[in-house]
Amino acid sequence: MSTHDQLTFCDPVSRFHRISPPRQSQPEPGLDAELDPAADRGEESYRGTGRLEGRRALITGADSGIGAAVAIAFAREGADVALNYLPEEREDAERVAEIIRAAGRRAILLPADLADVEACRSVVSDAVDQLGGLDALVNNAGKQVSVDRLEDLEDEEWTATFDVNITAIFRVTQAALPHLEAGATIVNTTSIQAYNPSTNLIHYASTKAAINNFTKGMAQQVASRGIRVNAVAPGPIWTPLQVSKGQPQDALPDFGKDTPLGRAGQPTELAPAFVFLSSPESSYVLGETLHVNGGTPTP
């Protein structure tokens, strides 16, 4: 799909095809293995340059989409990676683990439902035990279900969205902090929805605004300890989230076409932002939200 052989100089409009995905639906959480067309997580294209050499990373939602692209990039930059995901996503997670191992790095599989408080804690302690420590955390797991009218938004859906998208970030971060030393980094996945909420994603967009705020507050709280906290705000990215109730099916063929670049983003296009914010090169960048959204203006 990508013209990865031309990555030294390429046109961002045409680096990836302007996809028109067919109507399709998967139960939550979707699988990359069944996404049509397949998404590009950088399997063939991402080239590391040792920017995360020896780092020990925990990435939530690392089996597919953006998290998978980040996991692949981190491994090729020299990091060992613990991958959290839901048990039913094992097929996707094992594929990503294979790619990490092919890069000569360790992949630790940690299936767990982060809606559960104990699971948030045990994912961190298992990652620390098996990686021999922790110095990079990526809070990326998220849930998005499109509901047109607030009257139709069930209380359980509201609560579950907050549990997974923001409460789990609090819990995982709280469990991780005692293990993080100066130089460690945290990157949270927020969204353009934090700024431009869609009318069918009121609950989801609210959690993403909360993630931005949490990121900016926490960055200040732990700055003097040498721990940096930042966020990445993706625009429309082609991932299983979109076909597992994340978008109305009728919206899929035009997904991402309303951006200035005129196309949806691919997960691999997010990876460099996470690598930058996790690498020592960004030592003076804290509390920042880095937008990777195809050009839509943000405040």
Which active-site residues does the annotation give?
204
Under rule CB under 5 A, residue 40 binds Mg ion: no
| C-alpha separations of 55 from 73, 80, 93, 219, 272 in Å | 12, 6, 20, 20, 16
Provide, rounded to whole angstroms, the least separation between the CB of residue 170 and ligand NAD. Answer: 14
Which of 181, 258 has the CB closer to ligand NAD? 258
Total residues at interface with ligand NAD (CB under 6 A): 30
Applying CB under 6 A, the span of 5-13, 43-51, 60-68, 221-229 interacting with ligand NAD comes to 60-68
Under rule CB under 6 A, residue 86 binds ligand NAD: yes
Rounded Cα distance, 162 and 166, in Å: 5
Which of 21, 240 has the CB closer to ligand NAD? 240
Tell me, residue by residue from 166 to 195, as one string, x for binding to ligand NAD by CB under 6 A and - for no binding.
Answer: -----------------------x-x----
Under rule CB under 5 A, residue 64 binds Mg ion: yes
Provide, rounded to whole angstroms, the least separation between the CB of residue 209 and Mg ion. Answer: 23
Under rule CB under 6 A, residue 97 binds ligand NAD: no
Rounded Cα distance, 280 and 252, in Å: 38
Query: Given candidates 66, 128, 136, 261, which one binds ligand NAD under the rule CB under 6 A?
Result: 66
- Structure tokens, 285: 């960048």
Contacting residues for 123 by C-beta, under 8 A, at least 6 apart: 58, 60, 82, 84, 110, 112, 114, 172, 175
Rounded Cα distance, 211 and 207, in Å: 6
Provide, rounded to whole angstroms, the least separation between the CB of residue 82 and ligand NAD. Answer: 13
Provide, rounded to whole angstroms, the least separation between the CB of residue 148 and ligand NAD. Answer: 18
| C-alpha separations of 254 from 14, 134, 240, 250, 258 in Å | 16, 40, 16, 8, 8
Under rule CB under 5 A, residue 89 binds Mg ion: yes
Under rule CB under 6 A, residue 114 binds ligand NAD: yes
261 binds, among ligand NAD, Mg ion, none (CB under 5 to 8 A by kind): none
Query: Given candidates 40, 43, 63, 77, which one binds Mg ion under the rule CB under 5 A?
Result: 63
Provide, rounded to whole angstroms, the least separation between the CB of residue 135 and ligand NAD. Answer: 22
Which of 86, 177 has the CB closer to Mg ion? 86
Provide, rounded to whole angstroms, the least separation between the CB of residue 51 and Mg ion. Answer: 25
**Phi and psi for 58 in degrees, rounded to 5?**
-110, 125
**Which position has the token pair 């959204």?**
293
Under rule CB under 6 A, residue 237 binds ligand NAD: yes
Q: 292 - beta bridge partners?
A: 234
Rounded Cα distance, 250 and 46, in Å: 32
Interacting residue ranges for Mg ion, rule: CB under 5 A = 29, 63-64, 89
